[in-house]
Amino acid sequence: DTNRGIVTTSPNLPHWHNVPLRDILADKLGVVTYLINDASAAALGEHRFGAGMGFDNIVYLTVSTGIGGGIIIGGELYSGTDGCAGEVGHMTIEADGPQCHCGNFGCLEALASGWAVAKAAIKRINNGEKSSVIELVDGRLENIAAETVAMAARRGDRLAADIVSEAAKYLGIGLANLVNIFNPELIVIGGGLSKMGDMLLKPARKVLEERAFRLPADTVRVVRARLGSNAGIVGAAAYVFAQRAETGAKA
């Protein structure tokens, strides 16, 4: 809740419930503090200084350990009523799909995030399928990560390539939903999994084109983020300047 500065819940921080983070930091640091979701901050950073410069209507996705998003409409960050807009990772993609950390089933995050990719690899290897993924982690299943699967896929591992292909399919379905809802000019993909490049994004684009309405699908471009891990920091700074400007305070 950005209005009250409270983290009401977080799927990847399970013990965080109604944490007044803004006030905690303000008390500790002795400065005026604002609260913004990390993906929304990254969206703002990419819009102002990265891949989204010059575009008014953007959807930003961070595809990493989890999946988050930020929405820019008419050149402004759209936060929703309580600052909760942009939770694209928790749209339901498959009604009876795997359970997400948020408690729902079949979320995009549970199907295409870093932890979902790693979990899929571990499950299939445990079920007896052969893969070079296990060699890359010296036989330690618990060390399998999305990066490991991507490395194996680049080397021609069939199981790894299949898992990446599945993640790309679900990501593409999510992108098609976002295109139909928001009709953006640009979709910017950031986060660790974006480093897979065309191995992930090319098939995702294909699914988008197959499933979204023709006009918005033809209009939208899907690109990788430019600011990398700095997007959130840059966007957070821009957010503070904007908030201070609104109140006439010196940033």
Side-chain-side CA neighbours of 84 within 13 Å: the count stands at 11
Map tokens 């821009």 to a residue.
238
What are the E-state strand segments in the chain? Answer: 7-9, 17-19, 58-63, 67-73, 76-78, 186-190, 221-224
Amino acid letter for position 87: E
Task: Say which of 1, 23, 27, 38 is annotated catalytic.
Answer: 38
Residues 23 and 41: their CA atoms lie apart, in Å, by 19
Helix (H) or strand (E) holding 121: helix 114-126
Helix (H) or strand (E) holding 218: helix 214-219
Taking alpha carbons only, the member of 167, 152, 154 closest to residue 203 is 167
Q: How far apart are the first and last CA of the chain?
A: 22
Token readout for 100 is 């997400």
- Any catalytic annotation for residue 38? yes
Long-range contacts of 191-194 (CB under 8 A, 24+ apart): 191/61, 191/62, 191/63, 191/64, 191/67, 191/225, 192/63, 192/64, 192/65, 192/114, 192/146, 192/147, 193/63, 193/64, 193/112, 193/113, 193/114, 193/117, 193/146, 193/150, 193/167, 194/63, 194/224, 194/225
Catalytic amino acids? 38
